[in-house]
Structure 1
Amino acid sequence: MPILRDTIGTVEPVNSTVMSSEVTGTVATIAVPDGAVVRQGDLLVSLDDRAARAQIAKDQAAIARDQATLDQTQRDLQRAEALLKSGAVDAQQADTARSAAQSAAAVLEIDKATLAADQVALDKLKIIAPFDGRLGAFQVSPGALVTPGAAIVTLTQVSPVRAAFTLAEGDLPLLQDSLAKGTLTVMLRPAGDTNHALSGKVDFIDNAVDPASGSISLRATVDNPDGRLVAKQAFSAVVQAGERSGLVVVPTVAVQPRQDGNVVYLVNPDDTVSIRKVDVALRVGDRTGLTVGISAGDTVVVEGQGALTDGAKVKPNTAAAPGGDQTTPTPPADATAAR
């Protein structure tokens, strides 16, 4: 039988980021509407980039100018080296030409570095989605002045999501063993939704117990392709922490609680009833697993136990409803049995 634990929890996004600007600027355009589903790399907001583009143009012009200077100094150096070989100029003049060429090359590298830095500054005027997700409502509008760190819009990953919940610390060894085996799973239903269930695999157990509640936190990753689950949403969940074998499984209605424990009404081979004390290991819906009291193949009464006493006579009813044989007590009283 599966070992199940009921709990409640909340949905947490795998990724959620408040988008903001790294620089001060004026909002030029908002590229997508509130609540849009976006892909990684999509443009969300553009800031006024006229000054940045003008600086880029200036950098490109400086590169063209200093490239021409470098070309000229390299030609001068070639002529100086040729004249040096013929003895027309001395070594100092050749060294001067070489230094001029090296200086021009260094200036050109500075220009390129300046262009790269200004290109980064230009890119910072565009707010780009860092991952797939869904937007909230924009906090700005075109024409607004934004400053570094000011919230523009929140982007939240839709699928997968994390389901966060807690269980009693007494289950920790069981949970750890099941996690190691890869059999620790959860089935959850959003609050108020009885028609849809989502499943996921538990992949995280916290490294500390909460002493105030005596519970341990867990988290599962759940696919959410239709976006049914949203961040901070509550849910009810059933956690399966492995399985337990070696149980005798009976219908749950066959187990009767009493002050001194649980009992079942066992039908003996001579069609008399014996009241047997049993130890309940697990209850899962309409099935209960027992460890002590009866054996596999025994017949137990599942209906009308109140009309029976220890040693009462019953007779099988072969016209049983699906799920078990029926018996009729003697003297007459209603009782149903299952094997």
Structure 2
Amino acid sequence: MRLRSLPLRLLPLPLLLILAACGQQAGGPGGAGGPPPVSVAPAVQREVQATEPFVARLEAPDTVDVRARVAGTVEAVRFKEGQVVRKGEPLFQLDARAFRAEVARAEAQVAALKTQSELSRSELARAEKLVASQAVSAQEVDQLRSAARQAEAQLRAAESGLVQAKLNVEYASITAPVTGRTSRAAATVGNLVGVGEPVLTTLVSSDRVYAYFDVSERTYLQSLQKAKGAVPVSLGLDNETGYPHTGKLDFVDNRLNPATGTIRARAVFDNREGRFTPGLSARLLLASSERAPAVLISERAITTDQTRKIVLVVGANNIVEPREVKPGALIDGLRVVEGLKAGELVIVDGLQRANPGAPVTPQVLKTDEAGHPMPAAPAASK
């Protein structure tokens, strides 16, 4: 009695078969009132471009931590926090007086060493003319030649020091390395910053956005491995209905992760209007690159038996047969399934009255052009 008080669709499949067999033995094939009525619809086959939903995480193509390349005191912050800046625009200005003084000292050193190098070359040239008349010895010529080379080397070292001094003056003006939106300023006027520490601000590019998501091995083999050209991808945010934004797949990783059985993929979307913020989660809809035949049924025909997805098929002699299926993409309100053949009659209404292994009275519903079951016409009143 307790078993009969439970809804039949909640009972395990083996127990349903036993109850159906007992019912047939006790009261004949259909009982006193005959087999229960159910509504069935044929599984349809169509050429479809399968789509599959994913959850993605948005990231900026360029994320740069802005750091100081020289130590100094912050003289000015030249941007507003959260502002979009262009590449090369000034962000911070450090006190550059010591660096400019070093430039002046290096310039003076270069000038002195240049004069000394010119003098060494002139003395060497005069000695080389006199060596033929033995007015100077060969040893003196060798010493003058060595002195000229040493003066030239010292001059090149001083010129390198001058270049470094000028770079330090340039580094005192910290500019944007990429075009993007700034974060908060970690240092304000008067703070002393070191080389590389702290991170003064962070820039993220804003003209495009990446959506990273993980694709199963099956989807990769079916849709991405043989894809030719750009695969279309649609995106929707949490506060949006559907997938209003269109982008394209531009990257698939070079290996599958054996621990998860997935491979990382990336889609790119235009973000010049600033709709997307890096770090947000998003819904993606990935379209297959090719159209292929598939069997589709109504979504409400699919039930769950423990860990399996099953549908109830009306077979020979109107006997109900449970069939395990593998659901796929949802296309135009119909679910792609594996495990059925086109034309098989699937119960869509009256599942609670259908028992596996027991007969039913099927009413075949008409379907529209897409294959959706249409409601049964009301019975005519007598």
- TM-score over 0.5 for the pair: yes
User: Map of 1:1-339 to 2, 5 A cutoff?
Assistant: 1-148=48-195, 149-166=197-214, 171-182=216-227, 185-194=232-241, 196-201=244-249, 203-205=251-253, 207-210=256-259, 216=262, 218-223=264-269, 224-243=271-290, 245-248=292-295, 252=298, 256-257=301-302, 261-262=310-311, 282=328, 283-289=330-336, 292-295=340-343, 310=361, 331-332=379-380
In 2: Cα distance, 1:258 partner to 1:151 partner: 55
Q: CA deviation at 1:55?
A: 0.7
In 2: Cα distance, 1:162 partner to 1:324 partner: 37
In 2: Cα distance, 1:202 partner to 1:231 partner: 18
AA paired with 1:62? Answer: Q
AA paired with 2:191? Answer: A
User: After superposition, what is the alpha-carbon deviation per residue over 1:207-260, rounded to whole angstroms, capped at 9, x for unaligned?
Assistant: 3255xxx5636331312222211111121222335556223557x47x745789
Q: Structure 2 unaligned runs (5+)?
A: 1-47, 315-319, 352-359
In 1: Cα distance, 2:80 partner to 2:364 partner: 76
Contact 2:92–2:175 (8 Å) recurs in 1: yes
Contact 2:301–2:347 (8 Å) recurs in 1: no
Q: Classify the secondary structure of the residue corresponding to 1:238.
A: strand
AA paired with 2:210? Answer: R
Q: CA deviation at 1:50?
A: 0.9
Contact 1:38–1:135 (8 Å) recurs in 2: yes
Contact 1:34–1:138 (8 Å) recurs in 2: yes
AA paired with 1:49? Answer: A
Contact 1:276–1:293 (8 Å) recurs in 2: no
Q: Size of the alignment, in residue pairs?
A: 312
Higher share of residues assigned strand: 1
CA distance 1:166–1:186, change in 2 (3 Å): same
CA distance 1:313–1:111, change in 2 (3 Å): closer
Q: Classify the secondary structure of the residue corresponding to 2:66.
A: strand
In 2: Cα distance, 1:73 partner to 1:45 partner: 46
In 2: Cα distance, 1:327 partner to 1:193 partner: 31
Q: Structure 1 unaligned runs (5+)?
A: 266-274, 334-339
CA distance 1:138–1:327, change in 2 (3 Å): closer
Contact 2:295–2:341 (8 Å) recurs in 1: no
In 1: Cα distance, 2:112 partner to 2:262 partner: 67
Q: TM-score, normalised by structure 2?
A: 0.66
Q: Classify the secondary structure of the residue corresponding to 1:151.
A: coil
In 2: Cα distance, 1:288 partner to 1:3 partner: 10
Contact 1:9–1:165 (8 Å) recurs in 2: yes
User: After superposition, what is the alpha-carbon deviation per residue over 1:99-152, rounded to whole angstroms, capped at 9, x for unaligned?
Assistant: 332222122112112212323333332323222221112111222211232120
- Structure 1 stretch displaced more, 180-189 or 55-64: 180-189
User: After superposition, what is the alpha-carbon deviation per residue over 1:16-48, rounded to whole angstroms, capped at 9, x for unaligned?
Assistant: 122111332111222332222233333322211
CA distance 1:163–1:86, change in 2 (3 Å): same
Q: CA deviation at 1:155?
A: 0.8
In 2: Cα distance, 1:14 partner to 1:155 partner: 11
In 1: Cα distance, 2:378 partner to 2:169 partner: 93
Q: CA deviation at 1:321?
A: 11
Q: Percent identical across equivalent pairs?
A: 23
Contact 1:280–1:288 (8 Å) recurs in 2: no
Q: Classify the secondary structure of the residue corresponding to 1:67.
A: helix
In 2: Cα distance, 1:242 partner to 1:56 partner: 61
